[in-house]
């Protein structure tokens, strides 16, 4: 008990940024709890991912070598099995699009209270999570009176853990046959080729109703080419945070 | 929510202004000698169409709708190839920003062709069809285009189309305008122009007027013949002959044709679907039938006042006593007819017009929301709340001959109300009329057969979410109630659309919405019903109200509904706009043993509805392609489809659809089901890390200082 189990996120052979962030969040929470941080790596080239995620603060990496890509039945099943094996106090999962596809199922299956989309966590005799509401207009704190509990963490809220370390890697056996799954991933598709991933954009120009007609967008396109140099990274104010943070880039909040 | 209400306001506004014309058309044709003369019928609205609305208590607090009375111009540019290019422009003065923004919303739907109200090509197509039959000349209406513009404080809806074969060709190369207004049986589809309408006929290039009938008032301006309302026309009243320049023997001889051939023109037509059809002889109810009581337009017109008169509710005196006065001022044609005693209401004969009025009544409070806000200074949320609950219960809002539903207000928990699904109650659905008035686009009502015969049942979750005003204050652990405005959760809107589209694409698909929410949320639920959901379930009772529902509690409630309804597909939004947990759908799927997919932005179902190919919208412009077996829960991402606007017909139909109310006991649950270990302990405004710098001095100095800042911050170079 008092341990933290966090689950990493990867896609198409790449560890996603939120995995490094969840390590930081998990480490801090484990420190509050006085326990260890376990990191689960599920599907794909788990050895390579485990290598990449051998970071200071992680006590043990558990690899589930099954399936090539994300499948929510695999993730939910393996996470629940690991949870039962390790019996941690806290289960951390990313509030990524894939997290949305399995974390609630895990919480339900294990009968854990679920705090979704947390932007801050602390533990002092009980979990207190910070999360936003009303389109990020307000922040709230929620207290969880039961343990163990499950939390999904928003990407971009914790600094990525970067320091490599030597971490024990333990394979975890979980049998999975995707053919038996009711939801089978058939592949991926790039969309909006030529479009900009706003998460990677150097700066964003937001255009409102005042533009009136679509043709008038040229005015903006013209002016936005003009700034010759970078826009210094600025701390998100509440306004910009609305789109950048709750938007989860191109994920649920967008559009 | 608000835009739907205002949308309804526009629809009603446009219908109210254009509707009376049709009533008069029919009245003129069928009973020209009746007491309601055209002058009375067409007297200009003094108070604006809005005053027809429900005179309920909240309405008394507001003035008239700030939207002015619309005016409509019909410009017919004749062409030498005997066709005519029509432009039908309806201009609506919009006095407040609320009106203008509502118009913008409406304009989008109008341009998309999804809006009710406003000039519609359907009517002219029907007119051309009738005229073609009457004249034996081939005609068609094509090259249709719709625009909506907002300028100088007025909104303009413009319909343009080309009517081929509009002119008859006479001897010596003359072109004659007139018979295109005819309908079979010596009728005309152009029965009148109201005071707010005018018709302008532009001659073909290189032609000039050679003969004009005397059957109508007109003036000439720059070679154009201008026909202003109010006036009425019979077939043959309007006739204009044009000769090629230099070829006419009677140049500009404005001679009367002795009543022989008259001219043209007019008017128009009710901008409501199917409206015209009722006027065209040969259709099920010929407009020329001289039986006033059976005439649909007359029955129509008589409805609004009779509705009030039949109703014993407290507001009746207002409506009834005023039927000839206030209503007359606004709904000219209909009132005149009703005052005639055409008050025997036969639902079978109720027309769209009548239903429009009824809708107007029902929406009276809501359509004025913008005005309430600007007039009283209340917040939208407060107004919203004030209006809640008036949708169904006001006695005068029920169709008088429709079976009255038991009042739901006091019913909590206990028995469930099972009503016959919409469409199966013969009293509630005037079938003959509905058939006559329904264009093909109207989805047929769902008609279940005994037992579970549906190809599929879809349960769609609908949450009413709170949205915070720009300036708000926190009260305890939530935003103060007065700063909250309620609306259908954006994501759920897409889920509803997906469900309705499936039900339209397949036979025997029933769509049921489920909402966990207080009575207030029925307004939101009605919106889903108006968009095509067949019936609704609302889960609420005192225990639920007292609880702080977490994901697990919602899962238990919804799972109980699923157990009861046994859907094949559950559609939910990805997340709710207010608390944003984004977890209920997948949690529910796991609980009920369905397969699932989260964040679906493309959905294709197999023909046998056994599974779906979906795309899940991942981060960074990548989609995952997944096959999901049914039964399944899909959480729907915005962009999956284009949620429709509720149509006028839909809004109307929604009023009679079922909203079943379940308490915990009904679902086999107790208060323990909604207990939650998660408690919100604080709410605060996040600190913003921006700091503001104010520049002083003349504009030039301020600009220079700003430029320095931009340079220093690296925003611009140099």
B575 contacts on A by Cβ (under 8 Å)? 252-253
Given an 8 Å threshold on Cβ–Cβ distance, is B626 in contact with A184? yes
- Total domains, chain B: 2
| The predicted structure's pLDDT at residue B663 | 94
Smallest CA–CA separation between B519 and chain A, in Å?
22
Residues in chain B: 718
Return the percentage of chain B with pLDDT > 90, whole number: 30
Confidence of residue B666 (pLDDT cuts 50, 70, 90): very high
Q: Hey, of B150, B594, B620, B716, which one would you mutate to test binding to chain A, going by the most A CBs within 10 A of its CB?
A: B620
Query: Over 90: is that where the pLDDT of B143 sits?
Result: no
Which residue shows structure tokens 């000219």? B332
Give the residue, B185 or B58, on which the prediction is more confident.
B185
pLDDT at residue B377, rounded to an integer? 37
Contact residues, chain A, for B688 at CB < 8 Å: 237-239
Average of pLDDT values for B629-639?
95
Residues 188-247, chain A, touching B (beta carbon < 8 A): 188-192, 195, 197, 199-200, 209, 226-232, 234-239, 241, 246
What gap in Å lies between CA A65 and CA A45, rounded to an integer?
8
Task: Supply the pLDDT for residue B340.
Answer: 39
Q: Do B679 and A109 touch (CB under 8 A)?
A: no
Q: What's the confidence (pLDDT) of residue B470?
A: 84
CA distance B582 to chain A (A): 7
B-proximal residues of A, 136-195, CB under 8 Å: 136-146, 149, 152, 181-192, 195
**What single-letter DSSP state applies at residue B363?**
T
Q: Is B637 an 8 Å CB contact of chain A? A: yes
CA distance B11 to B223: 35
- Closest partner residue to A145 among B583, B639, B677, by Cβ? B677
Q: Which of B279, B296, B311 is the last residue of a domain?
A: B279
Position B290 in a domain: no
What would you report as the CA-atom Rg of chain B, rounded to the nearest whole angstrom?
29
Residue of chain A with shortest Cα separation from B483? A134
Asked whether the beta carbons of residue A235 and residue B624 sit closer than 8 angstroms, the reply is: no
The residues pairing with A114 across neighbouring beta strands, listed in sequence order, are A150
Between the CA of residue B692 and those of B292, B689, B697, what are the distances in Å?
A: 72, 10, 17
The predicted pLDDT at position B613 comes to: 95
pLDDT at residue B713 in the model: 76
Nearest to A188 among B577, B623, B635 (CB): B623
Looking at the domain assignment, is residue B219 inside a domain? yes
In this structure, CATH architecture of domain A4-177:
3-Layer(aba) Sandwich (3.40)
Residue B536 lies in a domain: yes
Using only the alpha carbons of chain A, give its radius of gyration.
Answer: 20
**CATH number of the domain residue B462 falls in:** 3.40.50.620
- DSSP one-letter string for B565-608: H--SEEEEESS-TTT----HHHHHHHHHT-EEEEEEEEEEE-TT
Assess if residue B16 is contained within a domain.
no
Highest-scoring range by mean pLDDT, B8-22, B266-280, B321-335: B8-22
Contacts of B638 in chain A (CB under 8 A): 254-255
Residue numbers of A between 17 and 56 with CB closer than 8 Å to B = none
pLDDT band at B246 (very low <50, low <70, confident <90, very high): low
Residue predicted with more confidence, B358 or B389: B358
CB contact under 8 A, A199 and B681: no
pLDDT in tens, B104-134: 878 878 877 777 777 888 888 888 988 998 8
> Above 80 in pLDDT, residue B565?
yes
Residue B304 covered by a domain: no
Between CA A32 and CA A26 the distance in angstroms is 10
Mean pLDDT value of segment B484-503: 94
- Per-residue pLDDT for B411 more than 60? no
pLDDT for res B30: 35
Question: What is the chain A residue with the closest CA to B477?
Answer: A140
- Residue at B691 is within a domain: no
Tell me which residue in B477, B596, B676 faces A183 most closely, judged by beta carbons: B596
Q: List all residues of chain B from 38 to 97 with a beta carbon under 8 Å from chain A.
A: none
Q: Using the predicted structure, report yes or no on whether residue B375 has a pLDDT greater than 80.
A: no
Instruction: List chain B residues with CB under 8 Å of A199.
Output: 619-620
DSSP per-residue codes, B461-499: E--EEEEE-SS--EETTEE-GGGEEEEE-HHHHHHHHHH
Q: Domain containing B242: what range?
A: 67-279
A100–B716 CB contact, under 8 Å: no
Residues of A whose CB is below 8 A from B599: 97, 100-101, 251-252
The pLDDT value recorded for residue B269 is 38
pLDDT, position B105: 79
Mean pLDDT of B548-573: 95
Are B669 and B561 in contact by the 8 Å Cβ rule? The answer is: no
pLDDT in tens, A136-175: 889 999 999 999 999 999 999 999 999 999 999 999 999 9
User: Any idea which of B176-180, B362-366, B383-387, B483-487 has the lowest mean pLDDT?
Assistant: B383-387
Q: How confident is the model at residue B714 (pLDDT cuts 50, 70, 90)?
A: confident
How much is the pLDDT for B604? 93
More confident residue, B311 or B226: B226
Query: Is the predicted pLDDT of residue B639 greater than 80, yes or no?
Result: yes
Hey, are the CB atoms on B679 and A199 less than 8 Å from each other? no
**Is the distance from CB of B217 to CB of B240 less than 8 angstroms?**
no
- What pLDDT is recorded for position B603? 95
Any idea how long chain A is?
255
Would you say B498 and B532 are in contact if contact means Cβ atoms under 8 Å apart?
A: no
Of B15-19, B262-266, B363-367, the one with minimum mean pLDDT is B262-266
Q: How many A-B residue pairs are in contact by the CB < 8 A criterion?
A: 239
Flag whether pLDDT at B424 surpasses 60: no
Residues B614-637, mean pLDDT to the nearest whole number: 93
**B5: pLDDT strictly greater than 80:** no
**Which residue in A108, A178, A236 has the most chain B C-beta atoms within 10 A of its own C-beta, making it the best mutation to test that interface?**
A108
Q: Which of residues 65-124 of A touch B (CB under 8 A)?
A: 70, 72, 76, 95-98, 100-105, 107-109, 111, 113-117
Task: Give the residue ranges of DSSP H helices in B398-468.
Answer: 431-437
**Does B332 reside within a domain?**
no
Q: What is the structure's pLDDT at B656?
A: 92
User: Which residues, numbered 477 to 506 in chain B, qualify as contacts with chain A under a Cβ-Cβ cut-off of 8 Å?
Assistant: 477, 479, 491
Residue of A nearest to B556 (CA): A108
Mean pLDDT score, B286-292: 37
Nearest to B468 among A12, A128, A134 (CB): A134
Q: Flag whether pLDDT at B686 surpasses 60.
A: yes
pLDDT at residue B497 greater than cutoff 60 = yes
B232 within a domain of the structure (yes/no): yes
* Domain ranges across chain A: 4-177, 196-255
Average pLDDT over residues B71-91: 89
d(CA B277, CA B128): 11
User: What is the model's pLDDT at position B307?
Assistant: 39
Q: How do residues B177-218 score in pLDDT, each as one tens digit? A: 989 998 888 888 888 888 888 899 998 888 888 888 888 888
pLDDT band at B254 (very low <50, low <70, confident <90, very high): very low
The residue among B528 and B416 whose pLDDT is bigger is: B528
> What mean pLDDT comes out for the span B685-695?
76
Q: Report chain B's mean pLDDT, rounded to a whole number.
A: 69
Contact: A113, B685; criterion CB under 8 Å: no
Q: How confident is the model at residue B14 (pLDDT cuts 50, 70, 90)?
A: low
Q: Over 60: is that where the pLDDT of B296 sits?
A: no
Query: Can you give the pLDDT of all 255 residues of chain A as single tens digits?
Result: 699 999 999 999 999 999 999 999 999 999 999 999 999 999 999 999 999 999 999 999 999 999 999 999 999 999 999 999 999 999 999 999 999 999 999 999 999 999 999 999 999 999 999 999 998 889 999 999 999 999 999 999 999 999 999 999 999 999 998 888 889 988 998 886 545 566 666 677 777 878 888 788 777 776 655 543 443 333 333 333 333 333 333 334 333
């Amino acid at each position: 008990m008092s341990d933290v189990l966090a689950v990493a996120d990867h896609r198409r052979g790449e560890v996603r940024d939120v995995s490094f962030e969840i390590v930081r969040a998990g480490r801090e929470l484990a420190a509050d709890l006085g326990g260890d941080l376990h990191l689960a790596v599920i599907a794909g080239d788990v050895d390579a991912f485990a290598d990449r995620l051998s970071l200071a603060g992680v006590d043990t990496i558990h690899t589930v070598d099954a399936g090539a890509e994300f499948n929510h039945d695999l993730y939910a099943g393996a996470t629940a099995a690991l949870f039962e094996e390790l019996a941690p106090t806290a289960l951390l999962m990313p509030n990524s699009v894939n997290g949305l596809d399995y974390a609630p199922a895990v919480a339900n299956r294990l009968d854990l209270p679920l705090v979704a989309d947390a932007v801050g966590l602390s533990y002092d005799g009980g979990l207190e999570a910070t999360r936003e509401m009303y389109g990020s207009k307000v922040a709230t704190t929620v207290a969880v009176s039961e343990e163990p509990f499950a939390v999904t963490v928003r990407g971009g809220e914790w600094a990525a853990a970067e320091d490599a370390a030597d971490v024990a890697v333990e394979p975890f056996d979980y049998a999975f046959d995707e053919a038996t799954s009711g939801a089978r991933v058939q592949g991926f598709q790039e969309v909006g080729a030529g479009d900009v991933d706003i998460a990677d954009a150097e700066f964003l120009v937001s255009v409102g109703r005042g533009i009136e007609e679509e043709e008038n967008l040229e005015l903006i396109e013209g002016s936005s080419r003009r700034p010759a140099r970078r826009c210094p990274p600025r701390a998100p104010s509440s306004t910009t945070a609305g789109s950048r943070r709750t938007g989860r880039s191109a994920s649920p909040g967008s559009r | 929510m608000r835009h739907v209400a205002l949308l309804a306001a526009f629809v009603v506004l446009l219908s109210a202004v254009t509707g009376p014309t049709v009533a008069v058309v029919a009245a003129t044709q069928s009973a020209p000698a009746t007491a309601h003369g055209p002058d009375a019928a067409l007297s200009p609205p003094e108070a604006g169409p809005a005053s027809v609305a429900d005179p309920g208590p909240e309405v008394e607090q507001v003035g008239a709708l700030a939207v002015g009375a619309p005016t409509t111009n019909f410009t017919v540019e004749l062409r030498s190839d005997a066709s005519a290019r029509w432009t039908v422009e309806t201009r609506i003065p919009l006095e407040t920003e609320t009106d203008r923004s509502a118009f913008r919303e409406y304009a989008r739907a109008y341009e998309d062709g999804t809006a009710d109200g406003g000039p519609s090509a359907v009517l002219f197509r029907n007119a051309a069809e009738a005229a073609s039959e009457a004249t034996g000349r081939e005609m068609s209406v094509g090259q249709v285009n719709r625009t909506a513009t907002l300028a100088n404080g007025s909104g303009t809806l413009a319909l343009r189309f080309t009517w081929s074969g509009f002119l008859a060709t006479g001897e010596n190369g003359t072109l004659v305008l007139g018979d295109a207004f005819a309908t079979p049986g010596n009728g005309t589809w152009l029965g009148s122009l109201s005071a707010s309408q005018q018709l302008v006929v532009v001659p073909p290039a290189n032609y000039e007027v050679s003969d004009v009938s005397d059957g109508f008032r007109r003036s000439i301006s720059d070679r154009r013949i201008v026909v202003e309302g109010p006036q009425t026309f019979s077939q043959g009243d309007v006739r204009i002959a044009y000769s090629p320049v230099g070829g006419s023997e009677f140049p500009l001889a404005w001679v009367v044709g002795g009543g022989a051939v008259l001219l043209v023109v007019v008017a128009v037509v009710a901008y409501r679907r199917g409206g015209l059809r009722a006027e065209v002889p040969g259709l099920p109810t010929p407009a020329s039938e001289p039986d006033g009581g059976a005439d649909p337009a007359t029955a129509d017109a008589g409805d609004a006042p009779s509705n009030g008169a039949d109703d014993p509710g407290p507001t009746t005196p207002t409506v009834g006593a005023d039927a000839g006065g206030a209503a007359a001022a606004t709904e000219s044609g209909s009132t005149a007819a009703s005052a005639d005693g055409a008050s025997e209401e036969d639902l079978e004969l109720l027309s769209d017009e009548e239903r429009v009025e009824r809708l107007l009544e029902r929406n009276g409070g809501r359509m004025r929301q913008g005005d309430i806000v600007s007039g009283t200074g209340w917040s939208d949320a407060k107004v919203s709340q004030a209006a809640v609950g008036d949708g169904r219960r006001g006695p005068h809002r029920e169709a008088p001959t429709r079976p009255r539903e038991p009042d739901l207000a006091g019913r909590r928990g206990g028995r469930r109300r099972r009503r016959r699904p919409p469409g199966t109650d013969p009293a509630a659905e005037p079938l003959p009329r509905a058939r006559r008035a329904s264009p093909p686009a109207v989805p047929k009502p769902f008609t279940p057969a005994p037992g579970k015969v549906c190809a599929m049942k879809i349960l769609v979750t609908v949450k009413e979410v709170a949205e915070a005003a720009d300036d708000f204050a926190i009260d305890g652990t939530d935003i103060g109630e007065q700063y909250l405005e309620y609306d259908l959760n954006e994501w759920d809107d897409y889920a509803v659309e997906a469900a309705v589209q499936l039900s339209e694409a397949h036979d025997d698909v029933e769509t049921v919405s489920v909402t966990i929410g207080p009575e207030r949320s029925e307004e939101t639920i009605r919106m889903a019903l108006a968009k095509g959901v067949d019936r609704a379930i609302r889960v609420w009772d005192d225990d639920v109200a007292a609880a702080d529902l977490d994901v697990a509690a919602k899962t238990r409630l919804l799972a109980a509904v699923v157990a009861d309804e046994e859907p094949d597909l559950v559609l939910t939004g990805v997340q709710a706009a207010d608390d944003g947990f984004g977890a209920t759908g997948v949690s529910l799927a796991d609980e009920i043993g369905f397969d699932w997919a989260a964040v679906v932005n493309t959905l294709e179902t197999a023909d046998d509805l056994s599974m779906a190919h979906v795309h899940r919208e991942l981060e960074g412009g990548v989609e995952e392609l997944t096959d999901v077996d049914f039964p399944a829960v899909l959480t729907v991402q915005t962009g999956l489809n284009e949620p429709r606007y509720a149509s006028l017909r839909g809004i109307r139909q929604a009023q009679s659809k079922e909203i079943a109310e379940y308490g915990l006991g009904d679902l086999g649950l107790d208060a323990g089901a909604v207990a939650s270990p998660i408690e919100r302990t604080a709410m605060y405004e996040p600190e913003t890390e921006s700091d503001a710098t104010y520049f002083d001095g003349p504009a030039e100095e301020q600009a220079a200082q700003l430029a320095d800042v931009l340079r220093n911050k690296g925003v611009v170079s140099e």
